[in-house]
Structure 1
Amino acid sequence: MSRFELPAEAVLRAREKLVLDHFHDEVARDWDATLSTFPHPHYELIPMMRVHDGDSEVREYYHDTRVAFPDQDHEIIAFRHTVDAVVVEFWLLGTHLGPLGKIPATGSKHRTRMTAYFVFDEQENLVTERIYFDQLSILKQLIGGLDKKNPKDLLTIGRAVVGLLAMSGGETDPRLENTTPPDFIE
């Protein structure tokens, strides 16, 4: 298929249903149903340059994010179809009640605008969920509501900054660095 041709309407409708079911099942915490939308679960978190590949890594990602934000939810802003993907813009919402990596719970709420690319292969299997967002927006919201005059909140802010710095030194997944430019010759 040409990069200028969208698939048939029936294909686009099937992709849309699968992605909407995926979103619904994530909010419902039905991990088996969510993971069944992939033949092989694969998440790419671009801000951190991290990949969660396979059932156990993706389940661990789900666990860790729901410990941090037990009430995690979303509001879809826009839904777009491309030749090989569905692109969803959405607000991710949650209350920070548990550790987020090495960042301690702040009790603050966040509402962060994100974009997710749900990429399909030639057989119409979902092969990747690639997520883009601004980490600083989340951190700003998580510590922004704390009282800078309260010693306890100042300690939390300090721990959050130290936790963020500790998390920022991780290895970049080479699968996200080793990219090939598209071939524009037809």
Structure 2
Amino acid sequence: MTTTTNTATTDTDTNTNTTPEAKLRARREAIVRTHMEAEGRHDVAATLNTFAEANYDVVALGAPTNGPQAVEELLTMLFGAFPDFAAEALSIHHGDDIVFVDTWMAVTHHGPWAGVPATGRPIDVRCGCVFHFDGDRLVKETVSFDHATLLGQIGVSG
């Protein structure tokens, strides 16, 4: 789950090619940017609208979140726990059926997250977000980050 800034580099920035592959990459990147901007506004409905199939896999949570209702609950929990949720896209890369976004997330822990009550502590963590596509249809987002680092920053020791 990510938001973006206009400063993110992308491996399509210098590609002015109008081949079918380049057009597909441009459509996918537009969807990813729209998705990230909706998350940044905490607009759950707009985020859901970017998916052809609403699926998140936040790896640190241990189980995928599938379907619109489950994704809505996940995003509501995320934005409740981190009401200042903001993430910066550092770079965007394209693969055969994915778009990978290297992301930096800076938030404050103001609500329960993964069973941990609010601590009011700041979190700065790097994330890898993989947007999975079927053609130009977004079908899943996989989010990976170092959960141990996040938990340490909010004061949970292992």
State the match for 2:138 in structure 1: 126
1:9 to 14, 22, 26: 22
Aligned to 1:176: none
Alignment correspondent of 2:50: 37
Task: Quote the Cα distance in structure 1 between the aligned partners of 2:79 and 2:20.
Answer: 35
Q: Secondary structure at the match of 1:100?
A: coil
Task: Please say if residues 43 and 129 of structure 1, whose CA atoms lie closer than 8 Å, have aligned partners that are also in contact.
Answer: yes
1:147 paired residue number: none
Residues 27 and 136, structure 2, Cα contact 8 Å, conserved in 1: no
Separation of aligned partners in 2, 1:63 and 1:7: 37
Once the two structures are TM-superposed, the CA of residue 86 in structure 1 deviates from its matched residue by 0.2
Q: Please state which structure has a larger fraction of its residues in strand.
A: 2
User: Percent identity at matched positions?
Assistant: 32
Q: Whole-Å Cα distance in 2 between the matches of residues 87 and 124 of structure 1?
A: 15
Q: In the superposition, relative to structure 1, how do residues 70 and 124 fare at CA in structure 2: closer, same or farther (>3 Å)?
A: same
| Moved >3 Å (runs of 4+) | none
Return the TM-score normalized by structure 1.
Answer: 0.71
Give the AA of the match of 1:51: P
Paired with 1:27 and 1:54, the residues of 2 have a C-alpha distance of: 21
Cα deviation per residue 1:29-79 (whole Å; 9 max; x = unaligned)?
221111111122000122232111111100100111111111100011111
Deviation of 1:7 after TM superposition, in Å, equals 6.2
CA distance in 2: counterparts of 1:45 and 1:127, whole angstroms: 14
Higher relative contact order (CA 8 A, sep 6+): 2
Structure 2 unaligned regions, length at least 5? 1-18
- The one of 52, 64, 69 aligned to 1:51: 64
What does 1:19-168 align with in structure 2 at a 5 Å threshold? Answer: 19-121=32-134, 123-143=135-155, 160=156
Paired residues of 1:25 and 1:34 also in contact (CA < 8 A): yes
- Structure with the bigger percentage of helix: 1
| C-alpha contact (below 8 Å) 1:7/1:83 kept by paired residues | no
User: Which of the two has higher C-alpha Rg?
Assistant: 1
RMSD: 1.6
State the TM-score, normalizing by the size of structure 2. 0.83
